[in-house]
Amino acid sequence: MASLRIQTLVLLVGFIALLFGLRYIANWNGKPRVVNTVSSILVPKKAQLVVVPDKYVVPQRAYCLDGSNPGYFIRKSSTTSVKNWIIHLRLGAWCTSKENCLQRSRTELGSTKNAINYMDRSMRNSNCTLNPHFCNWNVVEFIYCDGGSYAGSVGETVHVNGKPLYLRGAAIFDVLIQHLLDTTKLSQAQHVLLTGSSAGSLAVLVHLDHLKQLLPKTVLSIKGISDGGIFLDQTAVDGQRIMKDMLKDTYHLHNIKDTPSLNNCFKGKDDNSKWECFMPEHLYKFVQLPVLFVSSYYDSWYMPTCLRLRCATQSQQCTSEEDTIVKKHLSAVNTVARDILKMRGNGVYLTSCQSHTLLGPNYKNVKSKGLHPYDAVVMWLNDSEKSLNITELESYQTSRRNC
């Protein structure tokens, strides 16, 4: 009896292995690669990895840093009548030098070869108990593999230590959208949300108006959500302007001056100042479609990285010098927030809780005026005629106790 059970188990394992082997072989027949993820096994609505085929990629040279074809994870609505879409652009900073891009090309941030699924987070979660408003939307998450917020336009292949690199983020964005239009029901969408976290939030500002040009005119509304992306040009404790230098270097390395989606911002600027259009505090002024900005006053990445505040990562009082830097930063954030709200339909959600992005897996730990960021998103979408302003500023020390 035991021997029979073992034989049955061996046959079952072999059959499963055969199925996976056939599926793997099918990946190389020129069609989009579709792979079930762990998430797909655990939830009824499956997220699939799609790598875009050569016929889309080659003409535009829309390659990831390492030369692999770009791709996305997608989970289609289980209800065919649902015509609402979320297109999410991932976080992952930027590569600011050729050597940095080479290192990045060997990771999931420069390739689709070892793509990881992060779909089930906050607004993209398929669990309707956790995500009642968006669980049945069509959800797409672009794999961030270009290192330049989908804005790079370097025409020629870059070679570093004999290794070819491709800085083609703008082409990648266009190719991914076109592939979705051709192979899914995105062409029938009524409402589209372009969301992004960190470097992805900058990409939302770069591409939101451009996305309107790519989608059919039958789409009723297109809006953007910028999560953890109020990156300001502020002076650090050591006198450096780190955020400015980081984005300026990215702009030049990725040849973003040739990216058409920024042309509206480029108008009237000379070549020496066009890089400013890659700074969110300048770019948002030229975005015509509504955007909700979700951010922390005390961004847990920006404060230690770009302002060099030791008290941001250590449980200690800020020095008087650090306090001065913090106050200047808070004042600058409030100035930008007020300006954002001058544009009809925009929204601002600012919390004192120390976090980088707010719509990730820990969104329930963050509040502003008693509201989670998820709640703010729903409020903003339900009242599109008014601007949403939810801000709560506490001291650095108080925020540590309350969040």
Q: If pLDDT is split at 50, 70 and 90, which confidence band does 313 have?
A: confident
Report whether 305 contacts 291 (CB < 8 A).
no
pLDDT at 312 over 90: no
Could you give the CA distance from residue 374 to residue 360 in angstroms, rounded to a whole number?
Answer: 10
The residue written with tokens 């502020």 in the block is 234
Is residue 45 very low, low, confident or very high in pLDDT (cuts 50, 70, 90)?
A: low
On whether residue 189 sits in a domain, the answer given is: yes
At residue 98's C-alpha, the angle toward residues 95 and 99, to 5°, is: 90
Residue 49 domain boundaries? 31-402
> What are the beta bridge partners of residue 138?
85
Q: Which among 208, 138, 197, 139 is positioned nearest to 173, based on CA atoms?
A: 208
Residue 390 pLDDT > 60: yes
Q: What is the pLDDT of residue 30?
A: 33
DSSP 82-99: --EEEEEE-------SHH
pLDDT at 386 (0 to 100): 74
Rounded CA-CA distance 100/334 in Å is 33
Cα separations in angstroms, 9 against 3, 19, 41:
10, 16, 20
Q: Report the pLDDT averaged over residues 184-210.
A: 98
Of 123, 142, 145, give the one whose Cα is nearest residue 294: 123
pLDDT at 119: 84
How many domains is the chain partitioned into structurally?
1
Q: Taking the mean position of all CA atoms in its chain, how far away is CA 54?
A: 24
The CATH number for 160's domain is 3.40.50.1820
Give pLDDT tens digits for 50-85.
999 999 999 999 999 999 999 999 999 988 888 999
Q: Is residue 383 part of a domain?
A: yes
The answer to whether residue 188 sits within a structural domain is: yes
pLDDT at 8 over 80: no
Contact 162, 56 (CB under 8 A): no
d(C-alpha 367, C-alpha 363), whole Å: 8
Residue 205 lies in a domain: yes
pLDDT digits (tens, 9 = 90+) for 136-190: 999 999 999 999 999 999 999 999 999 999 999 999 999 999 999 999 999 999 9
Looking at the domain assignment, is residue 20 inside a domain?
A: no
